[in-house]
Structures are given as structure tokens and as C-alpha cells.
């Protein structure tokens, strides 16, 4: 069975501070990890995927298989980054399992 | 309208009622999903349809009955629900069926269900 854990339900930082949203997973196979985001009054949408190794809106995430983690990072948080962030894992059967989500609040 | 559209946005029903949630996508995708989002639980996958055939049930109680008449429409029929079924029900679509392709799901805004 697979599981995605986001240990922090709420993360509050000041504008300009670094931010790291934690994600840990358990899965016996080779995982594919994703981060989804939901801004206020908007629908859930894909932010980035680990296989692309891309930076979206200044966010990056590195898959660490040794630590089974896929933490989302941004060096300088902006107020518009305030949202719910969900980590997700795709298994060999191509089904997505989501973590419980972390609400990021960026204070001015 | 483009994207994934869900109706109704809000629904209140009694435990003996029968109601349906509707999802429509205009993205040309051929896989559609129902997720349940409760206040204290992660997003839970309920059903997956690929090319109008159900490929994942995920042990959902029979009081939830999905229907996918074509690749653009997905329904969730509700019957004799319980108060603990109150949640936000999200519909999503993706470009390919069992293989999600890029892994990107396109979500609707959800239907907020309250069971009294």
C-alpha cells in the first residue's frame, strides 16, 4: 500500500522568508511525485512534477528516495503563494494518492 | 464553457433522498474521476472511468453509484446516504485512461454535499 504524509497542516511564514512544505511517502515501487495547489476560490491544479525537474513560480521539489521525501521549497515566499498544497504519488497502476494537504500562509 | 464543470455546487439532502451529482468536461479527455474531500481526511479516490469503463472502485459503499454515459459526462448517484458522507465531491479528468500520461488531473470546483 502507498501512503503520502504531509506532517504540517498549517505553515505560516513572513513574506520574503524561505518556505519548505514537507512531504513523505511510502511506496514499494518506483514512485512518481507531484505537487498540486489550490488557491483561494480556485480549483485544485497541478503545480509541478518531479520527473520534469522544473521550477514553477519559484518552487522546486527534489525527490529523495533515501529519505522517501519530496519536499516543496521556495527561497523567498510571496503573499500570492498563500494556498493549500497537496503532495501526490502516482503508483504503477497510474492512480494518484494525495496527502492531507498543508495550508501555507504568507504574512506581509 | 471550458474545463471541468460540476453541478450542483451545493446540495443538501436527507438520508432517504435520492440525488445525483453531475460532472462535465470539455477538454477532450477520456478518463474521469470522483474524489471525496472530507474536512479531516486526505483526498480519497472513489471511482475512475477510462473510456467510459470503470477501472477503479476503491471499496466505496454501494449507496454511491457512478455512471459514465460518455467520455464527457460523469454522474454520481446518491441514495440513502449517511451524515458522515457530507463532504466536498470533486470530479477530475485526464487525457488518458489508466495511464495518466503526464500525471496531471484537471479538477472541477466540487459539489459540497450536506446530508442531514
- Could you tell me which residues come within 8 angstroms of residue B106 by beta carbon, excluding any fewer than 6 positions away? A45, B3, B4, B25, B27, B29, B92, B93, B94
Q: Å from B111 to nearest chain A CA?
A: 12
Is the Cβ pair B103, A90 closer than 8 Å? yes
pLDDT, tens digit (0-9, with 9 covering 90-100), for A45-72: 999 988 777 888 999 998 998 999 999 9
Give residue ranges of B with CB < 8 Å to any A CB.
4, 41-43, 45, 48, 56, 90, 98-100, 102-110
Q: Which residues pair with B97 in a beta bridge?
A: none
pLDDT band at A38 (very low <50, low <70, confident <90, very high): very high
E strand segments, chain A: 3-5, 10-14, 19-21, 24-26, 32-38, 45-49, 60-61, 72-74, 83-90, 96-98, 102-107
Q: Which three cell numbers stand for residue A62?
A: 527534489
% of chain A surpassing 70 pLDDT: 98
pLDDT band at A20 (very low <50, low <70, confident <90, very high): very high
Q: What is the mean pLDDT of residues A10-21?
A: 97
Q: Which three cell numbers stand for residue B84?
A: 458522515
Is the Cβ pair B109, A101 closer than 8 Å? no
Is the Cβ pair A46, B105 closer than 8 Å? yes
pLDDT, tens digit (0-9, with 9 covering 90-100), for B34-54: 999 998 788 898 998 887 777
Instruction: Please compute, for residue A12, the number of CA atoms within 13 A of its CA located in the half-sphere on the CB side.
Output: 2
Nearest to B29 by CA among B109, B110, B101: B101
pLDDT, tens digit (0-9, with 9 covering 90-100), for B63-100: 999 999 998 999 999 999 999 999 999 999 988 644 44
| Per-residue pLDDT at A28 exceeds 90 | no
Is the Cβ pair B105, A49 closer than 8 Å? no
Amino acid at each position: 500500500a502507498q501512503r503520502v504524509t504531509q506532517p504540517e497542516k498549517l505553515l505560516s511564514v513572513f513574506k520574503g522568508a524561505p518556505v519548505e512544505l514537507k512531504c513523505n511517502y511510502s511506496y514499494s515501487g518506483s514512485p512518481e511525485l507531484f505537487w498540486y495547489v489550490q488557491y483561494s476560490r480556485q480549483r485544485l491544479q497541478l503545480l509541478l512534477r518531479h520527473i520534469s525537474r522544473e521550477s514553477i513560480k519559484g518552487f522546486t521539489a527534489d525527490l529523495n528516495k533515501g529519505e522517501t521525501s519530496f519536499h516543496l521549497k521556495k527561497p523567498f515566499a510571496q503573499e500570492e503563494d498563500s494556498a493549500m498544497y497537496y503532495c501526490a504519488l502516482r503508483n504503477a497502476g497510474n492512480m494518484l494518492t494525495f496527502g492531507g494537504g498543508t495550508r501555507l500562509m504568507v504574512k506581509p | 464553457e471550458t474545463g471541468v464543470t460540476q453541478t450542483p455546487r451545493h446540495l443538501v439532502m436527507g438520508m432517504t433522498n435520492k440525488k445525483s451529482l453531475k460532472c462535465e468536461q470539455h477538454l477532450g479527455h477520456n478518463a474521469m474521476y470522483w474524489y471525496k474531500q472530507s474536512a479531516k481526511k486526505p483526498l480519497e479516490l472513489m471511482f475512475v472511468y477510462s473510456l467510459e469503463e470503470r477501472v477503479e472502485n476503491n471499496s466505496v459503499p454501494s449507496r454511491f453509484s457512478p455512471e459514465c454515459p460518455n467520455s464527457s459526462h460523469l454522474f454520481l448517484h446518491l441514495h440513502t446516504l449517511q451524515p458522515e458522507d457530507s463532504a466536498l465531491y470533486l470530479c477530475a479528468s485526464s487525457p488518458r485512461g489508466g495511464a495518466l500520461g503526464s500525471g496531471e488531473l484537471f479538477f472541477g470546483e466540487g459539489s459540497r454535499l450536506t446530508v442531514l
